[in-house]
Amino acid sequence: MTTLLVLGGTQFLGRAVAEEGVRRGARVTVAHRGDHEPPPGVTALRGDRTDPGSWAEVEELFTDRRWDVVVDTWSGGPAVVRRSAAALRDRADRYVYVSSRSVYAFPAADGADEDAPVVDLPTGDDPQDVSYAESKLLSELAVEQAFGARALLLRVGMLVGPRENTRRLPRWLARLAAGGPVPVPGPADLDWQYVDARDLAAWTWRAAAEGLGGVFDAVGPPGGTTTGELLGLGVEITGGRSTLHWREPAAFAEAGVEPWTDLPGWFPPGPEHAGVHRGAAAKAARHGLVQRPLRDTLADTWAWMCTDEGVAACRDLDPLWSPEAERRLLEAG
């Protein structure tokens, strides 16, 4: 029986990996801080590896234990990953670190793959004030140093699905569910690249079982959907109470509505869009990463948003834009 340790394992991708392990009959352990309930069927170890003062206690949790695979989804400072990888080097056969395509020098070229240039790293033995991209890349290096060829580094793109805590799809779905005319950015055929967390979790298991190592861009194929398909399905799934009113990207800029932050997942056509949504993703696809239909991802995300858990998680969603900006965008037509 495969043994799995998920560092975290109570939210979004980490939880999806743990649940996939339980479904496959593995012996799954999650080590978490106790902020969220672990999924059913796992062994839970509780400790805060983000607190240097508590690290000795956390490391004690790993004593006399061994795992086939460790999965680490930490997105904060690299010191946490460095300590974890060093502590588990002789207690695990393989270490999977969930990194990000943000490590590539932005914007990555249209069609970029795993050989694309990465961000420059800060100098010093233990830099503290680092960006998200620098932190992810430093964490990758720490795992490689500890595990060598036994390290599997997943550079994830736009990650979506039920329990999404980056709040990209939930913000769109919440606005579409509210009904009425909704200004949306054209062109409708602009392509999006994404991956459902559950599909990535299943592929992570497959990749670990095959003994894969090295770097993989863990995202679905370029052209996985379009703005028109994504929002059109969103209207249908949330009850059909909204109508889409297409506007040129310049109208959003004039209304002070920002790409990515106010329009989650969206960049206008150009280098930034290509850098986010047109990665090659061929290496992971060759090794079996497949993507479920977008309709299923959206429907399952909306169904989760309508549960007690989802309502609580989405209660304080930021609106896409202000009422004034929406009025200006609708008048711009």
Nearest alpha-carbon partner for 214 in 156, 158, 159, 154: 154
- Does 126 score more than 80 pLDDT? no
Tokens matching residue 1: 């029986």
Span 234-250, pLDDT tens digits: 999 999 999 999 999 99
Q: Is the pTM of this model over 0.85?
A: yes
pLDDT band at 18 (very low <50, low <70, confident <90, very high): very high
Span 47-61, pLDDT tens digits: 999 888 888 888 888
Span 269-320, pLDDT tens digits: 999 999 999 999 999 999 999 999 999 999 999 999 999 999 999 999 999 9
**Average of pLDDT values for 125-146?**
89
pLDDT band at 93 (very low <50, low <70, confident <90, very high): very high
- Say how far apart CA 74 and CA 79 lie, in whole Å: 10
Q: Kindly report the average pLDDT of the chain as a whole number.
A: 95
User: In sequence order, what are the residues at sequence separation of 6 or more whose Cβ sits closer than 8 angstroms to the Cβ of residue 72?
Assistant: 7, 8, 81, 84, 85, 95, 96, 97, 98, 143
Which residue intervals of 46-116 are DSSP H helices?
Answer: 55-61, 78-88
- Does 131 score more than 90 pLDDT? yes
- Does 233 score more than 80 pLDDT? yes
pLDDT at 124: 63
Contact (Cβ atoms closer than 8 angstroms) between residue 191 and residue 271? no
pLDDT at 197: 98
